[in-house]
């Protein structure tokens, strides 16, 4: 009897597309300035149990810096990795209150978030500072997650592509291939952060594809295809599946919902359509 070959479903096509491109999805929790050491410890322990069976995707948590070493002990040897939320651009020096790349690396971190919109907005971080910090992170052996994204005014004035293009060109140019391959981009529209207003999957996909196009112009197409671009801004258990179904969305950078183990573990266990 002749065997019928079933047509691949959209999901299979999507999975195949992302896996041939070798972009391992990355689900990252940015805890921001929440959780004391004992609260961080409790959250990490709860999460560790809830995501123990998950594979095929990278799970990252970024607690406040003062809690990194404690959380590092808790998640050591598990499928969760550790990241910091910021670093200084210098290796060491008289910079009261700051933390360097080597210190963050020694605390057990693999990743570091750079240029989050809250740092740009409240601490005056420019694209030049972002670029210096990215280089410092790479020098310390860390994987930088560089955040970009427009404000509401910029989107309403139809300047969002221009703004994000500038942030990418000024923030992440001039890397050698080996360093470029460690780079992760997070697109976080400022109007979607902490507001409950997520970019629609189509809006996010449109910007992610645009970012990949800029990366392919700065570097080249095969390299740009390897770069993970995360979406951030009101990611929740009920919208992660549709976001992750988009071809250029390779993960999420999650704020509020990463502070609850049940919500974040559901986000980690997303099912792309
Ligand atoms: P929310 O998920 O709380 O909107 O925060 C997003 C964010 O800023 C992650 O870095």
Binding site membership of 254 for ligand 1 (Cβ less than 6 Å): yes
Model pTM above 0.85: yes
| The dihedral sign for the CA sequence 208, 213, 218, 222 | positive
The closest-lying atom of ligand 1 relative to the alpha carbon of residue 258 is 2
Q: Which CATH class is domain 29-100+112-268?
A: alpha beta
Q: Where are the alpha helices (DSSP H) in the chain?
A: 10-20, 37-50, 68-75, 101-106, 117-123, 127-139, 152-156, 160-172, 177-180, 201-218, 221-226, 240-244, 261-268
pLDDT values of the chain reduced to their tens digit, one per residue, 273 residues: 344 444 544 444 444 455 455 799 999 999 999 999 999 999 999 999 999 999 999 999 999 999 999 999 999 999 999 999 999 999 999 999 999 999 999 999 999 999 999 999 999 999 999 999 999 999 999 999 999 999 999 999 999 999 999 999 999 999 999 999 999 999 999 999 988 888 899 999 999 999 999 999 999 999 999 999 999 999 999 999 999 999 999 999 999 999 999 999 999 999 998
Asked if 188 is an active-site residue, the reply is yes
Q: Where are the domains of the chain?
A: 29-100+112-268
Ligand 1 mean position to 116 CA, how many Å?
Answer: 10
Asked if 208 is an active-site residue, the reply is no
Binding site membership of 232 for ligand 1 (Cβ less than 6 Å): yes
């Amino acid at each position: 009897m002749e065997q019928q070959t079933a047509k691949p479903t959209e999901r299979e096509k999507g999975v195949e597309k992302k896996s041939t491109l070798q972009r391992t999805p990355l689900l990252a929790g940015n805890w921001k300035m929440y959780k004391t050491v004992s609260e961080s410890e409790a959250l990490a322990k709860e999460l560790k149990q809830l995501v123990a069976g998950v594979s095929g995707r990278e799970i990252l948590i970024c607690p406040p810096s003062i809690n990194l070493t404690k959380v590092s002990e808790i998640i050591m040897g598990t499928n969760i990795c550790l990241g910091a939320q910021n670093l200084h651009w210098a290796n060491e020096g008289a910079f009261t209150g700051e933390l360097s790349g080597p210190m963050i690396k020694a605390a057990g971190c693999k990743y570091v978030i750079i240029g989050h919109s809250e740092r740009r907005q409240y601490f005056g971080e420019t694209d030049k500072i972002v670029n210096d910090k990215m280089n410092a992170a790479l020098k310390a052996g860390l994987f930088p997650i560089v955040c970009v994204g427009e404000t509401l005014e910029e989107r309403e004035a139809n300047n969002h592509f221009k703004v994000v293009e500038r942030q990418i060109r000024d923030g992440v140019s001039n890397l050698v291939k080996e360093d470029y391959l460690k780079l992760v981009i997070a697109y976080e529209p400022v109007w979607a952060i902490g507001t409950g207003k997520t970019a629609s999957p189509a809006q996010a996909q449109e910007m992610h594809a645009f970012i990949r196009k800029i990366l392919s112009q700065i570097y080249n197409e095969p390299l740009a295809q390897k770069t993970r671009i995360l979406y951030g801004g009101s990611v929740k258990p009920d919208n992660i599946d549709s976001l992750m179904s988009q071809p250029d969305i390779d993960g999420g950078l999650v704020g509020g919902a990463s502070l609850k183990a049940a919500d974040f573990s559901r986000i980690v266990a997303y099912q792309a359509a």
